[in-house]
């Protein structure tokens, strides 16, 4: 079902806000992760991981699902379709993949937050908190989300076989 | 996602799309996607089927896993 222009603009606005917001939130996460690895202040390192877990659940996860949902609505309600253009399919795959990895990684963030919340930290605990894992995951997440954003802006050409079939059907119908 | 193509855009894009085979960028992205998916599966299997805290515990030798 095609959306009216007003609804389409509203859906587009929601999709841009959630998607770009997700990128921004990951950038903030990266800054925190770098702080967690490099800071000499133990209290700062603790604070970083104590903030990351709730921030992941309250900001990253909602934005990821909002981006996915608004993207699907936007594509199904316009002539772009969900499986007609390769760039839309790749964006969908990136979004689903990034959301799955994010949900899995919340376990690690929860574990690190538990360690950071301990009354006393051993040198092993502190070493664990200085893991580069969060930095690596944040950089990779930022990278794939920027690829998705670039695809959305440039919209490189290419119809999927399904898209070609649909296009052929529409041409046939319009000629009749 | 952006505004859908106008009718003139659609015909222009569609004509080019329908006359060409799978674009090169799609092939490159497809290969990258397969490589990333394989790496993801290998890392999952190496981590015992989960991407959780166990992957980040310190081993006896003091080396982070």
Judge whether residue B23 has pLDDT over 70: yes
What burial letters (b/e) apply to B11-21, b meaning 16+ CB within 10 Å?
A: eebbeebeeee
Using CA atoms, how far apart are residues A170 and A160, in angstroms rounded to an integer? Answer: 15
Please report the pLDDT score of residue B63 as a whole number: 38
Distance (Å) from the C-alpha of residue B26 to the closest C-alpha of chain A? 7
User: Model-level pTM?
Assistant: 0.84
More confident residue, B64 or B25: B25
Interface test with B, best of A157, A166, A172 (most B CBs within 10 A): A157
Q: What is the percent of chain A where pLDDT is above 90?
A: 84
B48 touches chain A (CB under 8 A): no
Tokens of A165: 């079939």
Distance (Å) from the C-alpha of residue B59 to the closest C-alpha of chain A? 10
Tokens of B61: 């030798």
ipTM: 0.78
- Which chain A residue shows the shortest CA-CA distance from B27? A86
- Which chain B residue shows the shortest CA-CA distance from A165? B18
Q: Which residues on B lie below 8 Å from A12 (Cβ)? A: 1-3
Please answer yes or no on whether A105 and B10 come within 8 Å at the CB atom. no
Q: Are residues A107 and B52 in contact, defined by beta-carbon separation less than 8 angstroms?
A: yes
Q: Which residues on B lie below 8 Å from A93 (Cβ)? A: 33
pLDDT confidence bin for B46, thresholds 50/70/90: confident
A104 touches chain B (CB under 8 A): yes
Please answer yes or no on whether B26 and A86 come within 8 Å at the CB atom. yes
pLDDT confidence bin for B60, thresholds 50/70/90: very low
Per-residue model confidence as pLDDT tens digits over A49-99? 999 999 999 999 999 999 999 999 999 999 899 999 999 999 999 999 999
Q: At what angle do helices B24-46 and A86-116 cross, to 10 degrees?
A: 30
Please answer yes or no on whether A12 and B51 come within 8 Å at the CB atom. no
Distance (Å) from the C-alpha of residue B1 to the closest C-alpha of chain A? 5
- Which chain B residue shows the shortest CA-CA distance from A124? B58
**Residue in the block written with tokens 């996460």:** A29
Judge whether residue A170 has pLDDT over 80: yes
């Amino acid at each position: 079902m095609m959306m009216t222009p007003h609804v389409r603009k509203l859906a587009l606005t929601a999709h841009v806000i959630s998607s770009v917001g997700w990128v921004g939130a990951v950038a903030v996460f990266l800054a925190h992760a770098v702080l967690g690895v490099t800071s000499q202040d133990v209290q700062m390192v603790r604070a970083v991981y104590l903030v990351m877990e709730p921030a992941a659940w309250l900001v990253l996860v909602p934005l990821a699902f909002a981006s996915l949902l608004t993207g699907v609505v936007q594509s199904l309600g316009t002539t772009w379709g969900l499986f007609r253009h390769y760039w839309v399919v790749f964006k969908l795959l990136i979004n689903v993949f990034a959301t799955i990895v994010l949900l899995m990684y919340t376990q690690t963030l929860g574990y690190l937050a538990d360690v950071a919340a301990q009354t006393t930290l051993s040198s092993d605990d502190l070493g664990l908190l200085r893991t580069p894992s969060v930095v690596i995951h944040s950089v990779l997440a930022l990278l794939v989300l920027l690829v998705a954003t670039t695809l959305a802006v440039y919209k490189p050409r290419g119809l999927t076989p399904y898209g070609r079939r649909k296009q052929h059907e529409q041409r046939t119908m319009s000629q009749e | 996602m952006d505004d859908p193509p106008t009718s003139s855009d659609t015909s222009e894009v569609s004509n080019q799309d329908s006359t060409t085979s799978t674009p090169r960028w799609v092939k490159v992205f497809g290969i990258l996607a397969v490589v990333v998916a394989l790496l993801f599966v290998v890392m999952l299997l190496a981590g015992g089927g989960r991407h959780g805290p166990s992957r980040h515990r310190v081993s006896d030798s003091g080396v982070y896993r």
